[in-house]
Amino acid sequence: MKKTYVLDTNVIIQSPAALHSFEDNIVILPVAVLEELDKHKNDDAERGANCRQAIRYLESLRTKGSLYEGVMLESGGMLKIETNYNSVEIPEGFYRDTCDNRILKVCKGLIEKGDNVILVTKDIIVRLKAQMMGVPAEDFTTEQSPDFESQYTGRMDVYTSDKAMGEFKKKGISPEYIYTVNGLDRIDVFPIPNQFFILHSETNEKKTLLGRFDGSKIVPLRSINEEPFGVKPRNVGQRFLQEALMQDPEIAPLVIVKGTAGTAKTFYSLAVGLQHTYEVSSRKYRKILITRPNVQFDEDIGFLPGTEEEKIAPYLRPIIDNLEILVDRNENERYRNEKQLRDKIDELFYRGVIVAEAMNFIRGRSITNTYLIIDEAQNLTPKQVKGIITRVGKGTKVILLGDPQQIDHPLLDEKTNGLSYASEKMKGSKLCFQITMKSDECLRSVLAQDASNRM
């Protein structure tokens, strides 16, 4: 029996392509959804753009037949607009004319007619209300990644022989000579391109080497002795992170870094960026471009007073905090002259070494020879992250930073955000390096590390 999927507006606003995701089943758009699309079609940023894209697609279908009777989709299914079931009874206390409840009426009416109905919505409250009405409901899962604990980390602990470790620096290690252990069972390992490894001696677990799978064998890290902009890696995660960031943009144009707060994701990214932008002897990029997606900010920037720089300044405070440490490494003297410290940072912006822009000013551009840092990337949608990565020009390196467990976007979670989406889709690409920092690699403070582990 074919299923009937009733779509909520928020599904289409996040992913207009959702209309193609239900195979040969029936897709229903209640008229309330059309009204919501019309209401938001002139909104700024992604929401308005997605509404307009969906409306244009509906217009193209309208020329092929009556949407009220049903139009065939390329997937083999059928799309229908439903205007009936306004008189369906809903539980006492539910407002009758809200868009959410009008959609629930359609679902209930179709069920009473005998259809095999499933409501698809990203709104948890609507799913709860649907359950109260006996309406099956689920999230839109097509663009979902695994749970955070199951997501790709870009790193792995393995074992190998002392002989292989002795020859590692000259020959590397073939994947057939590494393994992991589950209890007493020895398990073969099938590396992913650019995956990082902690190699343990099978006779002495504390004897370790660090390596990366280059597609054919595990090789030593190239930047093991580097100290970008005077910064020295302080744990294994930072050594892996440094290796990924130090690679030329032709080799690694995309770096994805996930991890809890305080693991130096932003700090280390800025350090490497300054090394390859500010230092003339090792210059690879013409500038560092920084952006931080912020849900409310990206929507409302046009209404804030001041220039673009003045508008985005409050949202770049975390960047400034890291730059204060990088431009003056003397911890005892750093804050003795606050004006002098601020002048050093202002000079980086004044000279164009560092440029900060709002996310909605970056989308759609072709960015070349740039070190592009996207901080808090867990607040991007899958469509946004795709739009940014696919716009990267020659000589540009993109660094996506964030914590999928700390999300501000109302329609995203650890499985549906753009950072996790990019991580899963780019896993295995020879052009992408990934690393997930561990909570015990938090270096912000003793309290920050303890809270990261406990909370």
Strand partners, 218: 173, 213
Residues 55 and 176 in one domain: no
Residues 8 and 51 in one domain: yes
Tokens of 444: 């912000």
* Beta carbons within 10 angstroms of residue 170's beta carbon: 7
Residues 105 and 156 in one domain: no
Domain endpoint, select from 138, 153, 179: 138
DSSP string for 94-140: S-TTSHHHHHHHHHHHHHHHT--EEEE-S-HHHHHHHHHTT--EE--
Residues 63 and 168 in one domain: no
Residue 447 lies in a domain: yes
d(CA 107, CA 117): 7
- Pairing, β 137-138 against β 117-120: parallel
159's CB contacts (< 8 A; 6+ apart) are: 178, 179, 180, 181, 199, 200, 201, 202, 205
Residue 423 lies in a domain: yes
* Of 448, 227, 446, nearest in space to 329 by CA: 227
Residue 110 lies in a domain: yes
- Any idea what the CATH number is for the domain that residue 86 is in? 3.40.50.1010
Residues 320 and 434 in one domain: yes
Token match 């030593």: residue?
220
Question: How many folded domains does the chain comprise?
Answer: 3
pLDDT in tens, 281-332: 889 999 999 988 864 444 455 555 566 666 666 777 888 889 988 988 666 6
Tokens of 333: 């003297």
Residues 111 and 179 in one domain: no
Distances in Å between the Cα of 276 and the Cα atoms of 222, 288, 371, 396 are 16, 9, 9, 12
Q: Considering only CA atoms, give the Rg of the chain.
A: 26
Residue 225 lies in a domain: no
Residue 180 lies in a domain: yes
Residue 377 lies in a domain: yes
Residue 131 lies in a domain: yes
Task: Give the pLDDT of residue 126.
Answer: 94
Residues 296 and 394 in one domain: yes
Sign of CA dihedral 129, 131, 134, 136: positive
Residues 152 and 207 in one domain: yes
Residues 88 and 30 in one domain: yes
Show the low-confidence residues of the chain (pLDDT under 50).
295-299
Instruction: Report yes or no: 212 and 221 within 8 Å, Cβ to Cβ.
Output: yes
Task: Give the pLDDT of residue 413.
Answer: 85
Long-range contacts of 225-234 (CB under 8 A, 24+ apart): 228/268, 228/271, 228/272, 228/274, 228/275, 228/276, 229/271, 229/272, 229/274, 229/275, 229/278, 229/279, 229/326, 230/271, 230/329, 231/267, 231/268, 231/271, 231/326, 234/443
Residue 279 lies in a domain: yes
Domain endpoint, select from 187, 220, 253: 220
Domain of 315, in residue numbers: 230-454
Residues 251 and 395 in one domain: yes
Q: Report pTM.
A: 0.81
- Any idea what the CATH number is for the domain that residue 441 is in? 3.40.50.300
Task: Give the pLDDT of residue 337.
Answer: 78
Task: Give the pLDDT of residue 298.
Answer: 44
Residues 298 and 435 in one domain: yes
Task: Give the pLDDT of residue 295.
Answer: 47
Domain endpoint, select from 120, 138, 156: 138
- Any idea what the CATH number is for the domain that residue 205 is in? 2.30.130
Residues 120 and 159 in one domain: no
Strand partners, 255: 399, 433
Task: Give the pLDDT of residue 297.
Answer: 41
